Chains A and B, each alone.
Chain A
Amino acid sequence: MVGPKSLTAFQLFARRSWMTFKIFLTVPLTTMLILSAGCASKSNNSGAGPVPTGKMGTGLIQGKVILTGKIPDPVMIRMDADPLCRAQHPGPMPDESVVADAKGDLANVLVYVQDGAAVYAPPSTPVTLIQQGCRYSPHVFGVQTRQSIEIFNHDPTLHNVHAMAVTNDGFNVGQTQDAKSEKSFSQPEVPIKIRCDIHGWMKCYLGVFDHPFFSVTGKDGAFKITGLPAGAYTLVAWQETYGFSSPQKVNVQEGQTQTINFTFSAP
């Protein structure tokens, strides 16, 4: 053992640096290990959840979603990052963050019952999400909790499907050509963004509900929610650029149709 008095200047410095280094290394690493263990043991939200009690009715809510103000020009995207994508779309393609016609009919808006619906059992039929032409189809969609989502890659290139959920567990799966994955979410959550980190322009959105009363507007801005039992409901519309609309209340009777419209304003 060498006493401190016989240490050289550099050895003194080295000894102190080594002690500091150990502290700097040990403290963050211990913290990270604990956090990692926390991540690993995080609940996967796969519990049974509320018991489904809802029964389908015959009420219907329909309407349109309109965009007012100046309709924004679509942002054009180029797929130069991947020659296999570019080969399918040699020219620029419009992105889908705002899809509206000259009249303001706004497509890809998720309209759903926010309050008033019971909990329903998920349907056995899966929802399909397709990656083709280095784009997602559909761009916006809804699913029920624990309903299966089948994800296909029909492109001759790699994609990763990265679901950026907050309430639910997210996932990130890689897919080669013709791969298929099956996923589901267990908690209601609106919206969940899905993106491909390989191709920065690829994104789509979904809403997860514990009932089947949701719809996505088509190119004409129209939506239709069917099978509602009689009752008072609160409806909300969500659009990826403009966010959530103000909620609207509506009373539905069996066999009757109610019409409500939503409006978003372009800045």
Chain B
Amino acid sequence: MNSEPSKIEFHPRTHRFAVIVMGCTFLLLLAGALVTSTGSSLSVPDWPLSYGTLFPHMTGGVIFEHGHRMIAGTVSLLMLGLAITLQRVESRKWVKTLAWTAMGAVILQAVLGGVTVLYHLPTPVSVGHAGLAQIFFCLVTTLAVVTSKSWITETPGRLTSSKPFLPKLAAVTVGVIYVQILIGALTRHSGAGLAMPDFPPAFVPSEWSPLVLIHFCHRVGALVVTGLVSFLVYRVNTVAAGEESLTRPAIAAGFLLWLQLFLGMMIIVTEKAVIPTSVHVITGAALLASTLILTLRCFQLFRKEDLRQRI
């Protein structure tokens, strides 16, 4: 980055396109969450066609499952368009590589979606589908960030950080949130969502089973994420107060964290009602994205000398 700024041009249309792809991917995550929450995952038994056609009669669970497929198809086409656009206009090779990697990820994601339908939702494949969805969302979020004007015109390495080093803390937080999302996906697809039916009185279960263990891990993960995100927000506001490119995603992450905890509680209280369960999935994605943006910005803004010593 530091050696490139003079060569990089800002392409406002390309950036807007990347933001649109990011927004559509977020909607796709919501559509996917609704498929599972409404129990519609197998309402269309064939793949890649739906009831042998491109557009079946939209009714009941078919609305959610086929709707998910249609939105996924749209996002795939948009991603292809974005990758081609970046290939043409972008001077940074790694950005082009990132775009084509995202394209590959969305194709792979479609295949995983097909496999999980054809094999009647095997848990590892369903969890993989959910995990890859988040990776794809992270990739398009990164593309939206690195094509922005503020990223291209920013002067890299103008801030310093004492221990704990902020970029490293942010990166660790992203990793932990992703692991927590994977555990959440396992909780969801293994049917462990209500394995511990009370909240919060019995945090530690009195009886153990594999499903209780999965559920318990997700609750412990929530505590770890809460601690990490809270500390990260605190550090951003002490080390980089006034840096809006850092404080904004940090504040967003703080807000999303508490919303996510509330939704997690509501899932138990409402016994997995469709709305809190689905919103819990996309709030997790939004939390991951906001900390990812914060991480990218941190690595750009903090001194490279510090980075070389610390990462």
Cβ of A44 to closest chain B Cβ, rounded Å: 13
What 1/0 flags go to A197-240 for Cβ under 8 Å of B? 11110000000000000000000000000000000000000000
Residues in A with CB closer than 8 Å to B248 are none
Residues in B with CB closer than 8 Å to A90 are none
Q: Are B62 and A198 in contact (CB under 8 A)?
A: yes
Cβ of A163 to closest chain B Cβ, rounded Å: 9
Q: Is the CB of A49 closer than 8 A to any CB of chain B?
A: no
The stretch among B20-28, B188-196, B297-305 that forms the contact with chain A is: B297-305
Chain B residues with a Cβ closer than 8 Å to the other chain, count: 49
Are A173 and B119 CB-contacts (below 8 A) given A9-B302, A81-B60? no
Across the two chains, which residue of chain A brings its CB closest to B119? A39
Query: Residue B124 contacts which of A32, A196, A199 (CB distance < 8 angstroms)?
Result: A32
**How far, in angstroms, from A185 to B3 measured CA to CA in the complex?**
67
**How far, in angstroms, from A25 to B128 measured CA to CA in the complex?**
9
Q: Are A10 and B300 in contact (CB under 8 A)?
A: yes
Q: 7 A-B contacts, Cβ less than 8 Å apart?
A: A24-B135, A31-B128, A35-B124, A36-B115, A39-B122, A197-B40, A200-B38
Q: Are B299 and A9 in contact (CB under 8 A)?
A: yes
Cβ of B296 to closest chain A Cβ, rounded Å: 8
Query: Residue B125 contacts which of A10, A16, A32, A158 (CB distance < 8 angstroms)?
Result: A32
Interface contacts (Cβ under 8 Å), in number, total: 116
**How far, in angstroms, from A141 to B64 measured CA to CA in the complex?**
31
Query: Residue B2 contacts which of A10, A21, A31 (CB distance < 8 angstroms)?
Result: A10
Q: Are B61 and A9 in contact (CB under 8 A)?
A: no
Query: Residue B304 contacts which of A9, A31, A162, A198 (CB distance < 8 angstroms)?
Result: A9
**How far, in angstroms, from A40 to B115 measured CA to CA in the complex?**
10
Q: Are B62 and A32 in contact (CB under 8 A)?
A: no
**Residues 33-48 (chain A) with a chain B CB within 8 angstroms:** 35-36, 39-40
Q: Is the CB of A12 closer than 8 A to any CB of chain B?
A: yes
Cβ of A143 to closest chain B Cβ, rounded Å: 21
Q: Is the CB of B261 closer than 8 A to any CB of chain A?
A: no
Across the two chains, which residue of chain B brings its CB closest to A16? B311
Q: Is the CB of B163 closer than 8 A to any CB of chain A?
A: no
Chain B residues near A (Cβ < 8 Å): 1-3, 38-46, 51-52, 56-57, 59-62, 65, 94, 105, 108, 112, 115, 119-120, 122, 124-125, 128, 131-132, 135, 156-157, 167, 171, 175, 178, 299-300, 302-304, 307-308, 311
Q: Are B124 and A25 in contact (CB under 8 A)?
A: no
Query: Residue B46 contacts which of A11, A13, A20, A174 (CB distance < 8 angstroms)?
Result: A174
Q: Is the CB of A84 closer than 8 A to any CB of chain B?
A: yes
Do most interface residues of chain A lie in helix, strand or loop, or is the interface mixed?
A: helix
Cβ of A43 to closest chain B Cβ, rounded Å: 14
Q: Are B2 and A8 in contact (CB under 8 A)?
A: yes
Q: Are B124 and A31 in contact (CB under 8 A)?
A: yes
Across the two chains, which residue of chain A brings its CB closest to B126? A32
**Residues 16-74 (chain A) with a chain B CB within 8 angstroms:** 16-17, 20-21, 24-25, 28-29, 31-32, 35-36, 39-40
Are A28 and B59 CB-contacts (below 8 A) given A16-B311, A170-B120? no
Residues in B with CB closer than 8 Å to A81 are 59-61
Q: Are A32 and B128 in contact (CB under 8 A)?
A: yes
Cβ of B168 to closest chain A Cβ, rounded Å: 9
**How far, in angstroms, from A19 to B128 measured CA to CA in the complex?**
19
Query: Residue A158 contacts which of B56, B171, B178, B303 (CB distance < 8 angstroms)?
Result: B56
Q: Is the CB of A251 closer than 8 A to any CB of chain B?
A: no
Residues in B with CB closer than 8 Å to A24 are 135, 178
**How far, in angstroms, from A199 to B40 measured CA to CA in the complex?**
9
Residues in A with CB closer than 8 Å to B302 are 9
Q: Are B59 and A32 in contact (CB under 8 A)?
A: no
Across the two chains, which residue of chain B brings its CB closest to A13? B299
Q: Is the CB of A263 closer than 8 A to any CB of chain B?
A: no
Are A28 and B299 CB-contacts (below 8 A) given A84-B59, A172-B45, A174-B51? no
